[in-house]
């Protein structure tokens, strides 16, 4: 119901070096995680980036701890990553925590982008760049569509795409030359 793909494209390639981007995806089997991982791969492909330069690491949960574990796994195999696109803001926060543990600086060494623009995403250090999802509009439209469907069960099923917005904060930047 939201324009996930377009939000991903905007987020991935704004204000950060994407030659070695990675996606920390949500758990397998979760539709949101799969849609966002597909959007990441599609956007990378559209820019001509090779899959070997754009790994996708699956998190075991849409949580901060899940993000930290996935980031640790990612950096064990790909220490050259300069941009991470997380499946949601909690995964991004776990990634930030893992970066700090490893002595990496965000955004100087690695840019991090979240998804959802959860409350207080701007209060973290660094403030999290994220894709804002219009939650209130999504709920209102879902209720409206449900009422329409109840009123006319035979009506054609509608699909709506609501726009998302990239909120650029402090967690993204072109990386320092020490990492490139």
Rounded Cα gap, residues 124 and 4, in angstroms: 24
Q: Is the peptide bond before 126 cis (omega within 30 degrees of 0)?
A: yes
Angle among Cα 80, 81, 85 to the nearest 5 degrees reads 175
pLDDT value at position 151? 97
Q: Name the token pair of 82.
A: 């300069």
Residue 92: Cβ within 10 Å count: 30
Query: Residue 1 — very low, low, confident or very high, per pLDDT cuts 50/70/90?
Result: very low
pTM of the model: 0.86
Helix axes 31-46, 4-12, angle to 10 degrees: 50
């Amino acid at each position: 119901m939201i324009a996930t793909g377009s939000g991903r494209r905007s987020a991935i390639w704004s204000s950060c070096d994407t030659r070695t981007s990675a996606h920390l995806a949500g758990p397998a089997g979760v539709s949101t995680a799969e849609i966002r991982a597909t959007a990441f791969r599609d956007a990378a492909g559209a820019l001509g980036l090779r899959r070997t330069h754009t790994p996708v690491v699956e998190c075991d949960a849409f949580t901060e701890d899940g993000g930290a574990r996935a980031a640790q796994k990612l950096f064990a195999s790909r220490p050259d990553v300069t941009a991470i696109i997380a499946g949601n803001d909690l995964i991004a926060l776990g990634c930030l925590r893992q970066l700090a543990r490893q002595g990496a600086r965000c955004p100087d060494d690695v840019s991090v982008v979240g998804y959802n623009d959860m409350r207080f995403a701007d209060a973290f250090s660094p403030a999290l760049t994220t894709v804002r999802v219009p939650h209130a509009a999504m709920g209102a439209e879902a209720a409206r569509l449900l009422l329409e469907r109840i009123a006319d069960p035979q009506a054609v099923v509608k699909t709506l795409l609501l726009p998302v917005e990239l909120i650029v904060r402090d967690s993204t930047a072109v990386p320092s030359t020490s990492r490139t």
